[in-house]
Structures are given as structure tokens and as C-alpha cells.
Structure 1
Amino acid sequence: MKDVANCPKCGQIFVKALRPICQHCYKEQEANYETVSKFMRRKQNRMASIREVHEKTDVPLEQIHQFVREGRLLVTHFPNLGYPCESCGAIIQDGRLCSSCTDNIKGGLEKLQKEKEFEQKKEEQDRNKRTENVTYHSLNDRFHKK
């Protein structure tokens, strides 16, 4: 049996085949894309920001972000378009995180790796000290008469 699901946008039950939304919401989304696309194709609008596109077309910001994220609106043609970083909300044009958030994550991972290496070295040194300081005594020394 096919996957039956509720549309995440409108809640209507639909057969989930090619799209994650129902046919009605898909048609609405495509109409919104056409509206934005026509607006952006006009020469005077090519430098418009996301906010301006939203205000002039009445298309929700989230959908415009989605069109840019999916590559349907190319940032090479429309340099002022973008979508928010998933961590801090700064406007980006590719990926999921801005360079600042990416650097923070990489720095944190490097710090954790260095701490792990330090702990491993410390444990190894402790093990070496324990094996060096071991003293063995013979039982024969106790019974020796002086």
C-alpha cells in the first residue's frame, strides 16, 4: 500500500508519492514560485532583497527561502537573495550554516580532540610511572640472619 500522510501545510490526507505535500498545496507553491520568478525576471527587480520580494509579491518569506535553498532562484543571477543560517539566522546563499557558525563548530571539535589527546597522553604517562615505580622483594631476604 502507498504511504498515506497528512499534508504538513494544510493537514489534508494525501498519498505521499513524489512530493511531501498534497496536490493543492503543491499547486499553490508553484503559483507562488511563478509570481516570484516573474517579479525577479524584471530587470529593475534583479537586485531586490528577500524582504522586498516578500512585500511586493505577498509570497511568504519561508517559501522564498525554500526556493533559494533548492536552487530554483539562483543567487548568481539575484545576489541579494538568500536564506537564514540554521544556527544564528544570518542570511547565507549556500549550505546550512554561515561561515561564522561553521568556524565555531570546527573550533569546538578541535578543542575536544585536543582535550581527548591530552587525556590519553596523561593516562599513558600515569601507566608508565606505575610500571617504573614497582619494587619487587624477595622472600629470601626476610629469612636471612644477620
Structure 2
Amino acid sequence: MDMRRAIFSMGELHRPSYCEKCGGVLVYKGLGEYECEECGHQEYDDYGKVRNYLDEHKGANVAEISDATGVTHKSIRDMIKDNRFEIINNAGGYIRCEMCGANISSGRLCSKCEQLYHRQLEEEARRMRKSGIQGGSEGFREETGERRFIRER
């Protein structure tokens, strides 16, 4: 494999690492855009390709975006779940809340379930605080040096 044309994957987003024109190192500029240190050529990762396509084709569906950019349907859906994009004017193509199954346009949870989830996290933090269980110190009580969480038998 020619290392100058290598593309490595972090998650499902394919990010370019070397310039396809001169083989120079690509520097990340933000929003999925990379620029070659040597020749200044610009390249894009999957997010940048989708973002650029949607800038010019507002309201495109996943199939249209995938066909035009070469980015997989799964990667595009993952970007929607990560709140990078939002579904608009979509006939039946909504994604579903992972807790209750309601239709949502982006993210993983609907607003009601997101509030419930955060309340549960807060309540768990309160419970742990009241019971004296706290993080840090790698399992030892700072004042005495004894191990925490060891129950006497």
C-alpha cells in the first residue's frame, strides 16, 4: 500500500492524511477540511464532503448525499445521530429515539428522554455522594491511606 495515498479511519469517518496531488502531509483546518503543507491543495473527510454537499443542496436525502459524495449511508446516519446534521422535510426517514422510539430529526434521544436521562444521572450522582463513594485517589482514602470499597466479612 502506498503510504502517500493512505487514508485512515477513526470511527466510520474516513480522514485523509496525505495529499493526493503531491503526497504532502495534510493539516486539519476544521469542519472536515484539510490543507496540504506542501502545495495548499484542500481535501475533505466524510464530514466535510457531506457538509459541502448540503451547503449547495439543502434538503437532500441520505441516498442523494451518499451517491454524490461516496460517503456510506451508515456514516451519514451516524453523523445525524451525533447531531452534526438534522433531518428536514423527510417523508418517513426519521431516526428514532433510542429510549422511547419517537421520531426525531437528529441525535439519539428525544427531548423528553434526554431530560429523563440527565435527571437519572444527577440522581445517581447524588446517591453516590450521600453514600460517600467518590472518584479519585485510585481506590484509597486520602486521609488514612486505606482501601475504599472493601467490605469486611
TM-score band by shorter chain is: 0.3 to 0.5
Q: Which entry has the higher C-alpha Rg, 1 or 2?
A: 1
- Between Structure 1 and Structure 2, the one with more strand by share is 2
TM-score (norm 1): 0.37
